[in-house]
Every structure is written in C-alpha cells, then in structure tokens.
Amino acid sequence: MEHAQEHEACLEQTQKYHVKRPIYNQELLQGQLRRRERTPQTFRQRIAHSCRCSSKKAKSHLYSFLPILKWLPRYPVKEYLLGDIISGISTGVMQLPQGLAYALLAAVPPVFGLYSSFYPVFLYTFFGTSKHISIGTFAVISMMVGGVAVRVVPDEVVSVDLNSTNVTDLFAARDAERVQVAVTLALLSGIIQLCLGLLRFGFVAIYLTEPLVRGFTTAAAVHVFTSQLKYLLGVKTNRYSGPLSVIYELIALGICNSVGSFFQSFTITCSMSRSLVQESTGGKTQIAGTLSSIMVLLVIVAIGYLFEPLPQTVLAAIVMVNLKGMFKQFGDIAHFWRISKIELAIWLVAFVASLLLGLDYGLLTAVTFAMITIIYRTQSPQYRILGQIPDTDIYCDVEEYEEVKEHPGIKIFQANTSLYFANSESYMSALKKKTGVDPCVILAARKKAQKRHARAIKKANEPKKKAVLKLVSSTTNDVEAGVKHEIANDELPVNGKFTSVDDSVQDRSPDELEYFVEPKTNVHSLILDFTPVNFVDSVGAKTLKSIIKEYKEVGVCVYIAGCSGPVMNELTRLNFFENTVTRDLLFHSIHDAVLTCHVKDASASQTALDL
C-alpha cells in the first residue's frame, strides 16, 4: 500500500512535456536537414597542417612540455604555500627510508636509492602534469630492476674463498656492475617512455584496468615480502631464475628516468603510498615534490654517511611495513566477487600469473587475459525484447518491468553491443530465439504443408479421372446404342477433366496457397534497436541484409531504429542501401518505427477488407 502511494506521489511530482511532430524515418529526416559541407583534406594537406606552427600553437606546445610555465606564474602563494610546505616535508620524511629500503630491492647500495629520490623528483617539478602524485622509488619497479641486476651480475660471481683478503673489493665490484645495470635500465626505460609519449601511445594505459593493476601489485607485494625474509631473518638463500595527461606524463617520466640515469639513479615511477601522504597533508602543486627532493638532497650532502652502516634488517623491516597497504588488496577478492565475476577473474589471473611466472611475464599474461575478456563481452552480449511504458515514448526490457507492455504484432529487439564478425551468428540466433519467429522454420513448414496439400489434391483427383474414363466409355456405348446422357453443370469437363466449385483452390499458385497453409506467424513487424551499436563491419552488414531478406519472405517487415551517424556512414560505405534495403527502413527513434508499423498494419488490414 505504501509502495503504491509513493508511486502515485512520484508520478504527480514528475514534470511532463508534450511534443507534436511528424513520424520521421532517416530518408525523410535527411531530406529536411541541411548537412554541413566538409571539404576532405588530402594526406599532403594534413601533413602540411601538422607541420605548420603559429605562435599560438608553439606556445601551447611549450606549455604542454613545460607545465611549470603555465601554473607557476598563477601560483596563489597565500592559499597554497603553507599546504605545499607541510606536504613536502611529510613526503620527504617518508621518501628517505623508502629510498634507502627500495635500493635494497634494486640490488644496489642504499645511497643510490637517495639519488633516485632526488634527481628525478626535482625534474618532475618542471615536466610533470599532475599536482597530486609523488614520484620516486617504488617497490614493484625496484624489485624488477633488482631481478635484472641479479640475473646479469649474480652472486656466484663473487662466490670465492670468503677468507680471502680482497672479498670486500669483490663485493664492491659486484655492486658497481649492478649499479651500471640499474642505470642502463633507467636510461632505456626513459627513452622508451619518451618515444611512447611523442608517438601518442598513452592510450595503451587504458588496457591496464584497475583489477589487473591491483592483482599485479598484490602479487608483487608477495614477491617483495618473501625477498626480504632472508635479510630480516639473516638466512642465506639461493636464487633461481624462473619462467592524467597520459601522453605528457610518459614524456615527463621519460625525461626523469633518462636524465636521472646520468646521476646514477635507477628506474622510478609514481608511489601510491607517498602520493596518498602528499595529498592528505595538503599538497596543492608540484612544489611539494620539490621540497621533498630538497630534503633528500640535504640528507645526501650533510648526513648521508651516517646511513652507510645501516643494517639490512632495518631496511628489510621498512620495506615490509610499506607493503601493508598492498596486502590489504586481498580484500578486493570479496569486492569483485560481489560486483563482477569477470573483473575478479582478471584480478586472480594477474595475481597468480605474476606470482608463478614472475612480474614481467605475469603482467603480459594479465594484459592478454584482459583483452580476451573484452572480446568475450562483445561476443556474448545481453539480448532483450523491449516494450513500451504506457503513454510514453520510453521502451524498456519486458522481462524486467511489470508495467512495460509489448505492441501486438511488433517485436523490438536490442543487443547491447556492436555488430561485427565475432558475434553476427549469435546475434541472428538470439534474434530468432527471443522473438519466437524463425523464418527458416516457417518456410520449411510451409513447403511441407504445400506438399501435403498438393498430395491431397492429387489424391482427390484420382476418382474423378477414373470417372472421366468411365463416362467416356459409357458415352461411346450409348451413342452407338442411341441413348442420351445428361451431365450436371457443376460436372462439366474442362481441359479433359471435371471441375467442381469446391475444388477451385487446386488451381491456385503456390504463392496463393501460402495464405491458406499453416503455420502462420502473428508478428508482422520487427524493430532492431541500434542505440547501443557503435560500429558495424562488412560481416555485420551482410547479416543485417540476410535478416531483412529472410523475414520479408515470411511477411515480417524489419526496421532499424536509433542508428547513429557514424554507423549510418559505415553502412553507406559497405553498400548496405541497395536493392531491397532502403533508408526508409531506418528510424531516428524506436517510437517512430512503432508508429510506422501501426500505420502500415492498419493500411494492410483495410486493403484486405476491401478485397
């Protein structure tokens, strides 16, 4: 009762609008609209336009590569400075132990972690586009760098007689070689990031979905945690090898890594934990990062030597404590279980693959699996039959809402995906299943019924043929005997055989017999809702043509509603509109198509009555 009252009150409060206009299909609509004239540019003209540089364009590019020139002159000192100072100091305090500890993960001496926490961070102030992130050493990247360094310069290189007097020199030489490997990696990664940024490859980051990244970082946290147990517990183990503006951020990180490599820093990236601290302590601009890098510089210059004898157990403990946030990501399993099983599968694949195959191959496996899920979603969409909410032009799923009603004789079919080669067959199968109208089955049944009807007529004609022969024979005898024989009017022979009023249907053509032969469908119109469709390829266009042709053979008219401009252009390029398919089958909205179906059905019914 209360629900009904709330429903009525909601209807009373709803504002109403009234629209009075003709019924438009695409042909009529395009005839009344004037399309803007666009002169297509040649390839040479596009190249010339790209190479042309005005003062405004040059200024825009300069601001894009050096964002500090844009925001620093407008910096509100009174509002932002205090927050940036507090945030910079807080982030710097956190940057120091993390830089030292993550150098251990990168298999280089701790001081190089401080270098990596200063030079790239300072450069990011000039080239970075984000006000909120804190770049520098990061556990996952540091561990990947360390994996390469240990693989190229293994501990076995210095596995000599430990009683030797030059063992310290050997370890120093090993560390120096590992530093060279780490610095080379930083330079190469910086160059790659610069190339990706200049070539506008930032869209690649779109495919690194949140479940993938969180599953990957959780597996990395497990790797990092287990790698530090030997330092924390003092156990010696053997290592075995086993199987924003995104564009300008890539450029900024590429510059930071490549330039930082000349100052012996290893690969850096954004740190989630420090970014959270920087944001929560009031950081407003990149000045907070500058202040944190200055704090690291003071430590390097003034008291850096004090950290040289720092025990590895202390650094390992710092690393493990900083992994607390990543281990909390195990709670994502329950979260993704509730909202999306596919996203849970991506998380689990990223976690398990990174755990078993290593971080590099694990990430590649996770990205591949994420791409497969995209194909699966477009290949297996949801199919619906739509109905109208009474007294509105709104159409919803008939299985989901009680108020929604279907129009008699009209089926409205919707698939929430594009139509292309991977799902064309499933689209047609779902259409036949959902609408309950399968042209192939109907045509096969009609042909079977026609054959059965023809056999019945043939069987009915057999006695009459015998009667004709008998009559001819008896007439001959009677003529010879001089006896007259009268024949009824309804039994007069025509073309050598007798006809009757009841048998006139046998002279009808097969097309005329279809009207009398079962089965017949009670659906006269089918509307395909193309509102969710983003593109159609050549296979999809052929499938559409086949649908229109097959349903036309059984007397069902097919219309397409809600077709967007780009999809219309694609259909035109694919020569979709020819012969039986014309633009008057396309409508701007479902309601226009429904009204047209009613008008044509009423006209057809009136014509049948007149006949």
pLDDT of 248 reads 67
Element (H, E) at 110: helix 110-116
Percentage of the chain exceeding pLDDT 90:
4
Position 223 pLDDT exceeds 80: no
pLDDT of 503 reads 47
Q: Where do we find the tokens 């929560």?
A: 280
Both tokens assigned to 540: 């999809």
How far apart CA 530 and CA 548 sit, in angstroms, is 15
pLDDT of 369 reads 92
Start-end of H helices in 153-307: 167-198, 210-233, 246-261, 272-280, 287-298
Write phi, then psi, for 561 (nearest 5 degrees): -125, 150
Position 209 pLDDT exceeds 60: yes
| Segment among 40-49, 135-144, 481-490 with least mean pLDDT | 481-490
Start-end of H helices in 437-563: 439-481, 510-516, 538-553
DSSP label at 205? G
More confidently predicted of 592 and 171: 592
How far apart CA 590 and CA 24 sit, in angstroms, is 11
Write phi, then psi, for 48 (nearest 5 degrees): -65, -40
More confidently predicted of 16 and 230: 16
Percentage of the chain exceeding pLDDT 70:
74
Position 319 pLDDT exceeds 90: no
pLDDT of 569 reads 87
How far apart CA 504 and CA 396 sit, in angstroms, is 49
| Segment among 53-57, 120-124, 274-278 with least mean pLDDT | 274-278
User: For 95-105, what is each residue's pLDDT tens digit?
Assistant: 887 888 788 88
pLDDT of 490 reads 43
Sign of CA dihedral 33, 39, 42, 45: negative
Within the chain, how many helices (H) and strands (E) appear? 25, 10
Position 451 pLDDT exceeds 50: yes
How far apart CA 347 and CA 335 sit, in angstroms, is 11
Position 502 pLDDT exceeds 60: no
How far apart CA 395 and CA 387 sit, in angstroms, is 5
How far apart CA 292 and CA 286 sit, in angstroms, is 10
What number is the average pLDDT over the span 84-107? 82
User: For 349-361, what is each residue's pLDDT tens digit?
Assistant: 998 998 888 877 8
pLDDT of 315 reads 64
Sort 420 into a burial class: Cβ within 10 Å, 0-12 / 13-18 / 19+.
buried
How far apart CA 130 and CA 246 sit, in angstroms, is 10
Position 462 pLDDT exceeds 70: no
- In the chain the first and final C-alpha atoms are separated, in Å, by 53
Both tokens assigned to 206: 């779109």
How far apart CA 104 and CA 178 sit, in angstroms, is 12
How far apart CA 365 and CA 299 sit, in angstroms, is 41
Confidence label for 73 from pLDDT (cuts 50, 70 and 90): confident
What number is the average pLDDT over the span 473-486? 47
Confidence label for 491 from pLDDT (cuts 50, 70 and 90): very low
What number is the average pLDDT over the span 205-232? 75
How far apart CA 611 and CA 606 sit, in angstroms, is 9
pLDDT of 526 reads 92
Would you kindly state where each structural domain of the chain is located, as residue ranges? 71-158+168-326, 383-437+521-610
What angle, 0 to 180 degrees and rounded to 10, lies between the N-to-C axes of helices 424-435 and 538-553? Answer: 30
CB 280 within 8 Å of CB 166: no
pLDDT of 240 reads 38
CATH number of this structure's domain 383-437+521-610: 3.30.750.24
More confidently predicted of 488 and 247: 247
What number is the average pLDDT over the span 38-46? 75
Q: Are strands 557-561 and 525-529 parallel, antiparallel or unpaired?
A: parallel
Write phi, then psi, for 495 (nearest 5 degrees): 55, 35
Position 190 pLDDT exceeds 90: no
Closest C-alpha among 134, 91, 118 to residue 299: 118
Query: Model-level pTM?
Result: 0.63
What number is the average pLDDT over the span 300-311? 66
Name the CA dihedral angle for 472, 477, 479, 480, rounded to a multiple of 10 degrees.
Answer: 150
pLDDT of 166 reads 62
Sort 74 into a burial class: Cβ within 10 Å, 0-12 / 13-18 / 19+.
exposed
User: For 577-592, what is each residue's pLDDT tens digit?
Assistant: 877 788 888 898 898 8
- Tell me what the pLDDT averaged over the chain comes to: 76
User: For 126-169, what is each residue's pLDDT tens digit?
Assistant: 888 877 788 888 877 888 888 888 888 887 655 554 555 566 67
User: For 228-280, what is each residue's pLDDT tens digit?
Assistant: 666 665 555 444 333 355 666 777 777 777 777 777 776 777 766 676 667 66
pLDDT of 514 reads 46
Name the CA dihedral angle for 447, 451, 453, 454, rounded to a multiple of 10 degrees.
Answer: 130
CB 415 within 8 Å of CB 377: no
Both tokens assigned to 343: 């996203």
User: For 386-419, what is each residue's pLDDT tens digit?
Assistant: 999 888 888 998 888 888 888 888 999 999 888 8
Confidence label for 512 from pLDDT (cuts 50, 70 and 90): very low
What angle, 0 to 180 degrees and rounded to 10, lies between the N-to-C axes of helices 272-280 and 77-105? Answer: 160
What number is the average pLDDT over the span 423-451? 85
